Structure formats: structure tokens, C-alpha cells
Structure 1
Amino acid sequence: MALAHIPGSKSITARALFLAAAADGVTTLVRPLRSDDTEGFAEGLTRLGYRVGRTPDTWQIDGRPQGPAVTEADVYCRDGATTARFLPTLTAAAHGGTYRFDASPQMRRRPLAPLTRALRDLGVDLRHEEAEGHHPLTVVAHGVHGGEVTLDAGQSSQYLTALLLLGPLTRDGLRVRVTDLVSEPYVDITTAMMRSFGAEVGREGDTYTVAPGGYRATTYAVEPDASTASYFFAAAALTGTEVTVPGLGTGALQGDLRFVDVLRRMGARVDVRADRTTVSGTGELRGLTVNMRDISDTMPTLAAIAPFASGPVRIEDVANTRVKECDRLDACAENLRRLGVAVTTGPDWIEIEPGTPAPGVDIKTYGDHRVVMSFAVTGLRTPGITFDDPGCVRKTFPGFHEAFAKLALPSRP
């Protein structure tokens, strides 16, 4: 049995940094993810005047319920969507100040409009400096009264998360009516974490209600990243071996752990316990049709092992993957075709036929960490796969290639 020690969750680390910055007191984050995205978030907090102290295994953040310690700042969000969406929302609640945010060309292309429209509806003075609905943008902060707002979160659940995180910092609380929502389990992470920091948040139908009152500092342990774990679980299913990920089990917050249920349907054995999850390959991968709307970050993982299934693999309801770091549906389709695999796609689906991927193919990564990590799994059964930008894994898992190699899983003919 191989043990895979997965770094902390990116989603949880980003939310915890927001909550810690907004909380009253000093928060300690235990085993946070240290990657380009989360370091960018922490750097953004520092630019805003928050104190972020680091040790090898913990981060300590001095919370400021009143908002940033500076009244003017320029924040560069790098490639991080959570940084680019959460930090402007955090500054909106400040009692005064002007804050400018910009991001990488990749992040500039990703949409913000539903979130910034909702913030404006709440009275936030927010200006897009170039393309409407995209970075760069400026927030002129004067606090947020709160009230009721309608949000379309069909492109990204992060829009809803940002508003929910803002709720306790408003004067009157917040009611958010959601007309569409993708990746709902990520919102469940948000509400659970908000409660851990002392907030009151509830849901009735399509409406979320958040009470005012702020957050309390705490010590918060970050669980391993379930999206990252998917590559190691898929590797076990593909090679007929066994991989255990400690720290992810029945109490995990992250919905992406449900990816193991997809592997179970394909023929793998899955054992989920309180403190760990084990996937054992059986030598069989069956084709299937699966709706991955709620676990869409693991769509590329499934696409990368789909050619080895005994029948077609059809992945549905994943339109939102077209507005991630790249258009992941097209990126997966193009790379599978490069490998000689038959693929068809639609607006929100991809179907992959069984086949033997050709060796010696250079994978086009589009600078997307998930494309690299997914097709690294394909490489366990396909000799000579290379990547045009293998280093882009630094976004969420700088040591991915070394950790994956340490598994020493056997390649199969």
C-alpha cells in the first residue's frame, strides 16, 4: 500500500485566510497549503496591512474586524481566483480606503461580473478599470449596510462564497437569493468554516441568510486537498494498486472527495474511514455516464484515465470548467486527440472513447495545473508523455512531480 501525503486544501486555506483577517483576535492556521495561490493571498493581506506570521507548519494572522490597516493599497492577485474574488470583497467592508486590484493575464480573462454586480447592488463603490466584469478593478470602501441581493452563481460558486464571507461584516446582515449555483459542495465548505469562526449562517431553499456580528479568532486545522488527492486515487485505479490518503475521511468538508464514488462505479474498491480514504485498483475500469457539476475540478482527472475504460466515458454538466484557468473541456479534448483518442464535446459535456494513447506526446498545458496533474496519471500507462509547462503545478502543489514519483506505482502495458 502506498501512502500519499497531500498538502492542505487550497479552497480551505483561502477561506481561512479571509476569515482570520476579518476575525477579532489572532488566528492560527495549522498545515495550510503553501503554494503560489495561497502565498499570493497571504501577500495580498500583507499589502493591505494585515500581519501574517509563518512557521513551517502554521500561519498566524492578526485579525482586523475594522478592515485593512492601510487606506490605500495596490494588490496583485497573481493567478489566484480566490484572491481575485475574495480580497476585493473583504476590503469593501472597510470603514474607508481605496484599494486597487490587478491580476495575471490568465486571471484577467476569468469573469467577475456576477460578483461585482451584486456588490454594486449592495452599494459598494467598485470600478472596473478596463474590461467590464474583469480585473483590474478599484474598490472605494465605506462599509456595507447589507440587505438582500440576487446572485447568479452558475459560473462559479466563489461568487456566492465571497458574498457569504462578507455577510457578518455588514451592518445589517445579508440575504442572498441564488438563481443558479454550480459546485454547491464548495459553498457547504464556506458555511461550515464560517460557523467555526463564530458566524451565523443559514439556508432556506435558494436563499442564504447571514447575521451581522463579525467573526471570532480560532485555531483551525486545514485538511488535505481533495481535488489534488483525485490524481493519486485515479493512479491506483488505473494501475491496479492501492493508495491511501491520510486526513481525508468521512468528516471531510470537501465535496471533491466524492470522486472516489466515480472510481467505485468504474470498478475500483474504495474504503472511506474516519481519518483516511483508500482506493484499490481491480484491473478493471468500466465506462460510465456521470454528472460532475458538483465536483467539476475533478473532471480532467476522469478525462485523463477515460481512454483505459472498457466503454465510453461521458462527463456531463460541466460548462463551468470552460471558465477556469483555461477552457478545460477543450484542453482535455485536444490533448486526448493528440494521444490518438476519439473525443466529442458539447457546451457542457465531453465523451471519450476507449483507446490506447500514443506514446511520446507533448501535452499542451495552457498553464493549468490541473491539466498537468491529470495527464501525469495518463503517463503511468503511456510512455514518454511530456508537458510544455510542467512547472505550472506550483499554483496548488509545487512538489507534485516529486510526490507522484515517490508513489512508485507500476506502469502497466
Structure 2
Amino acid sequence: MTLVEIPGSKSITARALYLAAAAEGVTTLRRPLVSDDSEGFAEGLLTLGYLLDRRPGVWQVQGRPAGPAVPAASVYCRDGATTARFLPALAAAGHGSFHFDASEQMRRRPLGPLTNALRELGVELTHEGAEGHHPLRVEARGIEGGKITLDAGLSSQFLTALLLTGPLTRRGLEITVTDLVSVPYVGITLAMMNAFGNPAHRDGDTFVVPPIPYQARDYLIEPDASTASYVLAAAALTGNSVTVPGLGSDSLQGDLRFADVLRQMGADVQLTPDQVTVTGTGRLRGVTVNMRDISDTVPTLAAIAPFADGPVRIEDVYNIRVKECDRLEACAQNLRAMGVSVLTGPDWLEIHPGPVRSTTIACHGDHRIAMSFSVTGLRVRGGITLDDPGCVRKTFPEFHRTLAELRASWGI
């Protein structure tokens, strides 16, 4: 059995930074993710005037429930979707003039459902380029709150941004959703809001957030379950065993359910409250899986699917077409380049087993495509080549070193 330390959760780190910035007092965050995404979020908070002290393994944030400490700022969100979606909502709850922009990749990703909801709440904002996309200007005068309706069918981050902002409004929020993907991520948001002192909850299709302020606290960030999927899949694919400590049945993250997918495929999975172990059994079965709620792990499953003993069909994942790239199409393109038979539809992907040849993977600047198909290379004669290996810095800067150490420990 090989032990692999996985860096902190990207999703939890972003939420924790928001909550710490919005809370009364000084919050200590332990084991935050240090990557391009989380650094971009922290830099955005600094630009807005929040005080952060970042030391190895421990970040401290001085909260400001009143909002940004500066009357005007221009924030560059890099490639970070949480930065680009959460920080405009945070700024809107304060007072001042705030400009937000992002990379070309992030500019292509949708923002409209969130900004339409903010407008419905009375926030004055302007899309300076394409409507519903960055760049964006927010003229903030606080948010009254109230009842709104939201379509979160493309991204649960639209709902999360509003939920996190609810306690900063004068009357709180009641948000009724007409569609929602990645439900477990909303569960993370509610659990963390509760941990920071706000009793936000779900009542059917409506999310209720009272205007009860956040309180600072000491908060430990668990390892990233989406990132863990790569090493768990590697064990299942190669017939080896790997354990990820700090990530078990007590986890907040829905993406740990990827381990259940591996179990369905024939891997041995052992889950305790504080760790998960996956052991490959030498066989991967074909499966049909609805991955609507764990869609960040779709590329991981697609990358090992050619080695199953029957077709692997992934369903209900339209939202992955509007991630860092069109992930559904990117997976199909790369699998076909390796000689694999693939069928696709608007929201599904079906992969048939067969010989896999060495090729160059088109990463499309997407960290999840790069890391997933690096796992495929463990079973390909001659391996695979990535056209953009550096894109993994978005969430796991040490990925290539970690995978190389894993290969060495397994003698691959």
C-alpha cells in the first residue's frame, strides 16, 4: 500500500477564503491549497483591501463584514472560476466601484445567471464586453436581500456565490432554483456556512439564508477529492494499492463518490472516516454512470475507460461542456487520437474498450484533461505526451512529481 498526500481542496479553500473575509474577526485556515487558483483568489481579496497573512500551511484572514476596505479596485481573476464568480458577489455587498476581468479562457465561461440574479437584487453592474461574461463592473451600495429565482443548471457556483453573500445582505436571501447541477458542491457550501455561524439551509427547491453574520474560526481544509481521483484511478488501472489520508467517509466532498464508481468497476475500495484506499484487482468492468453530481471526475473515468472489459457510458454531464474547455469533446478527441472508439451526444460519452496507442494529448489548457490522461499513460506502451504539462498548476502544481513517485513505488 502506498500513501499519497493530496493537497487541500480547491473548492473548500475558495469557500473558506470568502467566509473568512466576510466573518467578524481573524480566521485561521490550515492546509489551504496553494495553487494558481487559490493564489488568484487570495490576491483578489488583497486587491479589495482585505488583510491576509500567508505562511506555509497556515493562512490568516482579517474579516470585514462591511465589505471591501477600498473604495475602488480592479481585480484580475486569472483562470479561476470561483474567483471570477464569488468575488463580484462579495464586492457587491460592500460599497465602492469594482472592476473584474479574467483570462481569455475564463472570459468564455458563463456568468450571466449570477449577474442577472444580482441585478434582480438591485445591484448595479455592467458587462463591458459580451453580455453574461467578464469583464464586469460593479457599482456597489450594499444588497437589501429578498427572494429570487436562479437557474444553476450550468454551474452550482452561481448558487454558491449567492448563498455565501446572503448573510451580508440586510434582509437575507431566499433562493429558489429551477435547475441545479453538482449538488454535493452546494452541500459543501451550506456545511461551511453553518460552521462559520450562519444557519443557512435547504427547503425543497428553496435555499434560505438568514442575515446572521459569520464568525471567524480555526478551520482545517481537507484534501481535494477531485484531485485524489487521479491516484485512485491509477491504482485501479494498474492493479496496485493507494491510500489517501485525510479524505474519508467524514468528507464534505461529493467527488469522493468516484471511489464508488471504481468499486462498481471491480476495484477494492476501503473507506474509513479519515482515509480512502483503492486496490486494483486486475479487472475493470464496463459501467453506465450518471455523473451529473460528480462531473469534475468525468475525465478521470474517461481516461481509464478503454481498459475496461466492456463499454463505459457517462451520462447527464452537459455542464462539462462549459468548463475550462468543452471537456466532453476534449475527452472524445484525445481518446480517438489514441485509437479508441468513442460515441458522444449532447450530455453523454460512451467509450468502447480496445488497444490504446501512444499519442500527444491536447490539454486545451485544462488541468483535469492533463492529469486524467497522464493516468492513461501508465498503461500505454511508450506513454503519452502532454502538449501543456504546466496547466496542472491550476490545482496541483506538484502533480507530475507525485505521479512519478507513485510509478517508482509501484515499479512501473
1:411 to partner: Cα distance? 7.3
1:301 is matched with which residue?
A: 300
**Per the alignment, in what secondary structure is the counterpart of residue 129 of structure 2?**
coil
d(CA) in 2 for partners of 1:119, 1:73: 19
1:81-160 mapped onto 2 (5 Å cutoff):
81-94=81-94, 96-160=95-159
Q: Write out per-residue CA displacement over residues 278-301 of structure 1, whole angstroms, 9 at most, x where no aligned residue.
A: 000000000010000000000000
**Aligned residue pairs, count:** 410
Aligned identity (percent) is 69
- Check whether the contact 1:14–1:38 (CA below 8 A) recurs between aligned residues: yes
Give the distance between the partners of 1:274 and 1:68, measured in 2 at CA.
38
Task: Tell me, in whole angstroms, the C-alpha distance in 1 between the residues paired with 2:403 and 2:109.
Answer: 29
Counterparts of 2:15 and 2:205, CA distance in 1 = 22
Tell me which residue corresponds to 2:278. Answer: 279
RMSD: 0.8
Look up the SS of the partner of 1:99 in the other structure: strand
Name the structure 1 match of 2:207: 208
- Counterpart secondary structure, 1:98: strand
- Judge conservation of contact 1:25–1:216 (CA < 8 Å) in 2: yes
Task: Give the conservation status (yes or no) of the 8 Å contact 1:239–1:411.
Answer: no
CA distance in 2: counterparts of 1:271 and 1:300, whole angstroms: 23
1:368 to 362, 366, 369: 366
CA distance change for structure 1 residues 292 and 152 in 2, over 3 Å: closer, same or farther?
same
List gaps (5 residues or longer) in structure 2: none
**TM-score, with length taken from structure 1:** 0.98
Partner of 1:350: 349
Quick one: distance in 1 between partners of 2:162 and 2:68?
A: 18
Alignment of 1:170-209 (within 5 A): 170-209=169-208
Q: In structure 2, how many angstroms separate the alpha carbons of the residues matched to 1:288 and 1:171?
A: 49
In the TM superposition, what is the alpha-carbon distance from 1:214 to its structure 2 partner?
1.6
Alpha-carbon distance, 1:410 to partner: 4.3
Displacement of 1:213 after TM fit?
A: 2.0
Quote the Cα distance in structure 2 between the aligned partners of 1:362 and 1:33: 29
Q: How far has the Cα of 1:274 moved from its partner?
A: 1.1
C-alpha deviations, 1:47-86, integer Å up to 9, x for none?
0000110111100000001111101000000000000000
**2:234 — aligned with what?**
235
Which amino acid is the alignment partner of residue 107 of structure 1? M
Structure 1 gaps, min length 5:
none
TM normalised by structure 2 equals 0.99
In the other structure, the counterpart of 1:5 is: 5
Q: Which residue of 1 aligns with 2:40?
A: 40
Q: What is the deviation of 1:384? A: 2.8
| Secondary structure of the corresponding residue to residue 339 of structure 2 | coil
Matched residue SS, 2:270: strand
Deviation, structure 1 residue 202: 1.4
Tell me which residue corresponds to 2:20.
20
| Contact kept in structure 2, 1:98 and 1:138, CA below 8 Å | yes
Query: Which stretches of structure 1, 4 residues or longer, exceed 3 Å deviation after superposition?
Result: 409-412
Q: SS state of the match for residue 215, structure 1?
A: coil
Question: What is aligned with 1:391?
Answer: 390
Write the distance in 1 (CA, Å) between the matches of 2:125 and 2:169: 16
1:275: how far off? 0.9
The separation in 1 between residues aligned to 2:54 and 2:122, in whole angstroms, is 36
Aligned letter for 1:69? A
